[in-house]
Structure 1
Amino acid sequence: MYTAFTPGAPWLDTDGKRIQAHGGQIFQENGTYYWLGENKDHTTGEDEVWTWGVRLYSSHDLMNWQDEGLIVPPEPDDRESILHPARHLDRPHLLFNEKTKKYVLWLKFCDDSHYAVLTADALKGPYTIVNSRYFPCGRKCGDFDLWKDEKGNAYIYFEADHTDLLGAHLSADYTQVEGEPVAIYSGKKPPETREAPTHFVRGGRHYLLTSGMTGYRPNPSEVAVSDDPLRGYTVLGDLSEGDPSNTTFHSQSTCVIEVNGRYLYLGDRWMPELNDWSYTGDLRPDPATQKKIMAKLKELGLDPVRDREEAMKVAIHISEACNTSLADYVLLPLEWEGERPILHWKDTWKL
């Protein structure tokens, strides 16, 4: 049983297994904390498995988590299903709709840059797909976050076309974007493109954490603030200025939760083996990986220039073929310099 948090160390559930809830969120309901995310326990990098469904955990202290099972199980026998393990299911996020009494779950699919939307009458499901291939406002889309205000109005923050980060209202049933999105960041290119958006509110102000776009390799996170959920964000700078590796302590933001007035940052440490790596902006693959990429392009008859988009997908797939079943987490309290949140490393800490 855990009595303190140890960021970056393997985090085991009450059965002694690694917690598998990546890219997701922690929220509270009826006095219990829940944590849902990508189940990576089958993702070794040695085959086509990307995500093995969506897993849910429960806790009363945020340290000790009980496995509640797969609320969205994979469908390994149906290659046409969006829930087949080879599909690149990422970033599950959930809202409960008080009007419809439905749990609304959004999933990202990075292999084809779209979302799927599912609903259920109970937190643990079963979930029914209501839209398996959703492109908000006709845009290719990536990482996202969902948020609802005290009146039940819901919002989405999402990366679009590898250039923009947009914010938008959701429909009354939370299943689609309503109205035109607002550009929070625009006209950027990887690795400067903003992704992994994480929204939270403190003192009536809206904060948005984002990372750069570097795949599973970590990079500096950025924090912006506004008095409005969608408009007028001002960039405050790096979230973890004291990190000499420029990698947000080797993590990528997934959510921020408020606990008794404290705000806790949760990030995924996708590649623990890179803990000695520092971000410099040079994202070229190492020579061995580059050789694998070129061999695969030749096998598929793809030209890196002529078939740039398809070639890029191949390169990303090979570069990110890593054992994320061993991915860890970084949970740290946000500290404040005025109205600016800052992360400082702690080997161990308690609430």
Structure 2
Amino acid sequence: MNKSKLLSLFLIGLASIIVLHAQKQKSFYPGKLWFDTDGKIINAHGGGILYHKGTYYWFGEHKGEHSNDALVGVTCYSSTNLYDWTFEQIALPVSDDKNSSITKGCIIERPKVIFNEKTGKFVMYFHLELKGQGYNAAHVGVAISDNAAGPYVLVKNGRVNAGIWPINIPDSQKKLNKKESDFKSWTPEWLRAMENGMFLRRDFKGGQMSRDMTLFVDDDSKAYHIYSSEDNATLQIAELTDDYLGYTGKYIRIFPAKYNEAPAIFKKDGVYWMITSGCTGWKPNEARMFSASSIFGTWSQHPNPCRGEDSELTFHSQSTYILHVQGKENLFVYMGDRWIPSNPIDGRYVWLPILFEDNKPVLKWMDRWSLNDFD
């Protein structure tokens, strides 16, 4: 048998193994290649999960081999067991219209979807950067659909809470007039001015910046948009209107001038927990963890929740979402991404169970784990 035939048989066999593995997966393998039920690599980066009527829907950024720009749109996969994922469709496709806010070549990051019981609509929020403007726009995009898997239609985009002060800013800070040009960047004086709302005031009229983000629906069905703002220096938490399509005007700043991004949040036993990362571009860093007894604070910081080797790099990942597994009251799953800017499509997913020690969340590396481990 010649070499070409041997190679063909090998490739066919390899493809069969991949498909078989994808269809029979019964464990999670953090950081390994993860295939859908068609044997194709799951392409849903910076994602989040919606659970609706017995099915999980995983939404994420479609990545190519050479660019982090949105050239396709937001993908949607479905699963009933969290192991085996079926590609549904491009839930929010980019547009060929050059005048569209989501025209091909824009930046779409960290899509999250929630369901509104009152309106029956599925609502998607995402970080949007307009084509050709780098990361200067710092918009939030809002899209809706009648179906969980989509397609979704963009209804608006822009900055957040224009002309509105956060509820936890002192009146004295509203009146300050120091500008960035008054300081040398990264000096103690500059950071103190940032903490005292220098960029908040700069963006007051036009609206607050919204970059890395997540959504959270509380027990009372109130929904919140949590996002990096003020050039990523400060996290903000904003309450959404009852239809989830806008803002009530009630929002707070937390940890100003501490530079947090990649927020992921969950609630257990009446306590809100949030995991974030520092700002080091595409490179991983040490996870940060915060807690509060109210969504509007006061928030307190805790040590890095990761334990063991590479814990200072969050196991080479960055948080994107925390999933509560249905039917398992105390099982929450950390979802993280390993970013590879040189080959974005090869970014791997790191899913790890959140353990609890002394009633505080802990992340430990596991080469392999399953939901049955937590029965």
Range class of TM-score, shorter chain: 0.7 to 0.9
Distance 2:310 2:228 in 1: 27
CA deviations 1:149-182 (Å, max 9, x no partner) are: 2222111111111211011211111122222421
SS of 2:345's equivalent in the other structure is helix
Q: Of 254, 264, 283, which residue of structure 1 is paired with 2:320?
A: 254
Amino acid at match of 1:98: E
- More displaced stretch, 26-35 vs 132-141: 132-141
Q: 1:82 aligns with which of 84, 93, 101?
A: 101
The residue number in structure 1 matching 2:241 is 171
Kindly provide the amino acid, as one letter, of the partner of residue 153 in structure 1.
K
Letter in 2 for 1:128: V
User: Does the aligned pair in 1 maintain the 2:254–2:299 contact within 8 Å?
Assistant: yes
SS at match of 2:316: coil
Inter-partner Cα distance in structure 2 for 1:79 and 1:200: 38
Unaligned runs of 5+ in 2: 1-23, 130-134, 163-206
Cα distance between partner residues in 2 of 1:344 and 1:151: 32
SS at match of 2:284: coil
8 Å contact from structure 1 (residues 220, 239) kept in 2: no
In structure 2, the residue corresponding to 1:343 is in which secondary structure? Answer: strand
Q: Sort the Cα spacing of 1:331 and 1:96 in 2 relative to 1 into closer, same or farther, 3 A.
A: same
C-alpha distance in structure 2 between counterparts of 1:90 and 1:226, whole Å: 27
- C-alpha change, 1:119 and 1:219, in structure 2 (3 Å) is same
How far does residue 254 in structure 1 lie from its aligned partner after superposition? 1.0
**Runs of 4+ deviating beyond 6 Å:** none
Partner of 2:251: 181
Q: 2:48 aligns with which of 13, 17, 25?
A: 25
Matched with 1:208 is 274
Name which of structure 1's ranges 173-182 and 260-269 shifts more when overlaid on structure 2: 173-182
Matched, 1:68 2:88: yes
Shift of 1:21: 1.1
Aligned positions, number: 294
Q: Deviations for 1:249-286, whole angstroms, at most 9, x for unmatched residues? A: 01111111122121111101112xxxxxxxxxxxxxxx
Structure 1 residue ranges without an equivalent (≥5):
272-319
Matching residue's letter, 1:165: L
- Letter of the structure 1 residue corresponding to residue 364 of structure 2: H
List per-residue Cα deviations over 1:92-142 (Å, max 9, x = no partner): 111111111111111212432111111122213332222133334311221
Q: Does residue 348 of structure 2 align to residue 328 of structure 1?
A: yes
Q: Partner of 1:125: helix, strand, or coil?
A: coil
Percent identity over paired residues: 35
Q: For 1:251-290, what aligned pairs fall within 5 Å after superposition?
A: 251-259=317-325, 260=328, 261-271=330-340
SS in 2 for 1:100: coil
CA–CA separation in structure 2 for the residues paired with 1:323 and 1:230? 39
**Offset of 1:245 from its aligned partner?**
5.8
Change (3 A) 1:49 1:184: closer
User: Which stretch of the first structure deviates more once superposed, 174-183 or 198-207?
Assistant: 174-183
| Equivalent of 1:96 in 96, 102, 115 | 115
1:2 corresponds to which of 13, 16, 25: 25
Q: Relative to structure 2, which stretch is displaced further, 120-129 or 12-21? A: 120-129
The structure with more helix, counted as a fraction of residues: 2
RMSD: 1.6
User: Does residue 226 of the first structure (1) align with residue 292 of the second (2)?
Assistant: yes
The alpha carbon displacement at 1:187 in A equals: 1.9
Normalization by structure 2: what TM-score? 0.75
